[in-house]
Chain A
Amino acid sequence: MENEYTVYELIEQLKADETLGIEKEEREFLADTIYMSLSY
C-alpha cells in the first residue's frame, strides 16, 4: 500500500528536514508539539 506509513515517521522526517529553513532545535519542538496537538 502506498500510504503504509505512520504519522510518527513523518514527524521524524520533519525533524530532520533541513530544507524548511528552521533551526533544528525549533524544528524538533514544533514537530513534537504538532504530534501531541493532533493526537488529542
Chain B
Amino acid sequence: MKAEEKINQTHQNLLAATNLTEPKKVPVNIDMGGWAYSYSGIDYESVVDDPQKCADAYCKFFDDVEIDTNLVSSCGTMCVRMYQAVGSRKYYFNEGGVAHNQAAEKYFGPEIYDDVIADPMSIAEKVIKKDCPSFSKPREEAYSDLKKALISYKAYNDTNMLISDRLTNINGIFQLQTDLNVYYMSEFSTIFDVYRGIKEALTDLRRRPEKVRAAVEALWHANNEMGMYSFDSEAIKEPFPLGHTMFHPECFLNDRWFDELYFDHFMKAIGPAMEAGKKIFLFGEGAFMRHLDRFNETPKGSMIILLDTDDPFEAKKIIGNNCTIMAGITLDLMCVGTKNQCVDYVKRSFDELAPGGGFIFSTNQEIVSAKDAKKDNLLAAYNEADKLSRK
C-alpha cells in the first residue's frame, strides 16, 4: 500500500475510533523515543551531529514493524547539544541514548511567587540564567555559546524534518503531532516543574496556598493576554492535528485542588476548541483514576486519553462512553515480563477495550532508552497488536 493511501486509511480509522465507533482497523500507535536507536544498534551520540545518519537510525524500526501512528514528533530525544552549549547539565548522553538529569535541577525559593505575581513574563529570563552558566559570562562569550546552541539546534531540527518526511512519505505513518496552537498546560505545572520543584510546590499548597493561587492567576491572565487561548475559528474545526494537554502534577492533587489548578482553566481554555470539533490529546503522567470522571464533562468523542499507570480496563468503565482510551501494552511488562505475558496483555486489551470503538492501541509511556523494553517483547506485542487490529 502506498504511504498516502495508508495515511488516509489511518485518518479514517482514527476518526471512527475517536468518535466512539468501531474502525475498520484499530489504530496502532507507538510512543517511540530514543529506544529506536538501540533497536538499530546505534549509539545516539555517535550520530547526533549528522541529521541523515540520525534519521536513518531512528526510522529503521518503522521500516521493520507495522505501525499506524507515532506520538513523538521529534527524533525521540531532547537536543542535548543545545543544552551543553550553554553549560546546562539538564540532559546528558547515557547508555546509547539521552537521560534527564533531574538530580541536578535547581529551583527558586518561595520568594519567586512575589516575582511571578508582579511580572509573570519576567520569569523566563530568571529561569534561563539560573539553569545556564553561559549567561553568567561576559556578553561576547555568552553570545558565542548561544551561537553554538543555535547551530546544534539546527542539526536537531533538520533531523526532525528528515524523520517527519520519511515516516510520512515512505512509511505512511500518521504522525499524531500535537497542535501547539491549541494547548493547555496548567499554570501550577510550571510552578511544580520549573519554579519550585515537586516537593516544594506540593508543600506550598499547604503552607502558602494564597501565594500559589495568586501566582496561578497571574500566569493565567498573562497567557490570556498573550492570546494563547484565542484560537483560529476555522483551524479548531479540524480534528487533527490534535490539541494537547497533559497531567504532570495533577496526579498529586486532591479533588478541590484538581479543579482549581487544572480542570477549571482547562475547560475555559480548551472547551471552545472541543465544541468546534478539535480532538484533544491528554498525555497522562502518574495515576489519575480518581479524576478521570471529570472528563465525562467534555464533548463526547473529543478527548483521547493516554493512561500511564492506571488500569485501562477500569478506566473504560469510567470514561469509555465519552472518551477514547490510548493503552494496550505497558513498558514495565515489556521490560521485565515474558513474551507470552506481553502477548496475553495485548489480547486482553483488544478483547476488552476495542469493542464499540474508543480505543487506540499504544504503549503507556514513551520508550526512552534501551532498558525500557526488551526487543523480543516489544516485537511480539506489536506483531500481535497488528494482527488483532485488523479483526
Contact = CB atoms under 8 A, between A and B. Distances in A.
Interface of A: 2-3, 5-8, 10-11, 13-14, 17, 20, 22, 26-27, 30-31, 33-35, 37-40
Contacts of B129: 7
6 contacts: A3-B135, A3-B136, A11-B146, A31-B150, A34-B149, A38-B128
A30 B147 CA distance: 11
B128 A13 contact: no
B223 to A, nearest CB: 14
Given A3-B136, A6-B125, A20 B143 contact: no
Q: In this complex, which of A8, A13, A14, A34 has the most chain B Cβ atoms within 10 angstroms of its Cβ?
A: A34
Given A2-B138, A2-B139, A3-B138, A14 B147 contact: yes
Contacts of B86: 38
B150 A14 contact: yes
Contacts of B128: 7, 35, 38-39
A17 B138 CA distance: 19
Nearest to A1: B138
A37 to B, nearest CB: 7
Nearest to A13: B143
A40 B142 CA distance: 19
Given A20-B150, A38-B88, A40-B127, 9 more contacts: A2-B139, A7-B125, A10-B139, A10-B142, A22-B150, A30-B154, A34-B150, A38-B83, A38-B127
Contacts of A14: 143, 146-147, 150
Contacts of B194: 39-40
Contact of A30 (B124, B125, B131, B150): B150
A6 to B, nearest CB: 6
Nearest to B151: A20
Contact of A22 (B132, B138, B146, B154): B154
Nearest to A6: B125
Contacts of B79: 37
A16 to B, nearest CB: 12
Nearest to A2: B138
A3 B124 contact: no
Contact of A17 (B88, B124, B147): B147
Contacts of A8: 125
A31 to B, nearest CB: 6
A33 B139 CA distance: 21
Given A14-B150, A30-B150, A31-B150, A3 B157 contact: no
Contact of A35 (B124, B151, B157): B124
B234 to A, nearest CB: 23
Interface string B147-179: 101110110010000000000000000000000
B82 A34 contact: yes
B150 A38 contact: no
B139 A3 contact: yes
Contacts of B2: none
Q: In this complex, which of A2, A8, A39 has the most chain B Cβ atoms within 10 angstroms of its Cβ?
A: A39
Q: In this complex, which of A38, A39, A40 has the most chain B Cβ atoms within 10 angstroms of its Cβ?
A: A38
Interface string B86-126: 10100000000000000000000000000000000001110
Contacts of A11: 146
Contacts of B193: 40
A5 B142 contact: yes
A30 B153 contact: yes
Nearest 7 Cβ contacts at the A-B interface: A39-B124, A2-B138, A38-B128, A7-B128, A5-B139, A39-B127, A10-B146
Nearest to A22: B154
A18 to B, nearest CB: 12
B199 interface: no
A33 to B, nearest CB: 7
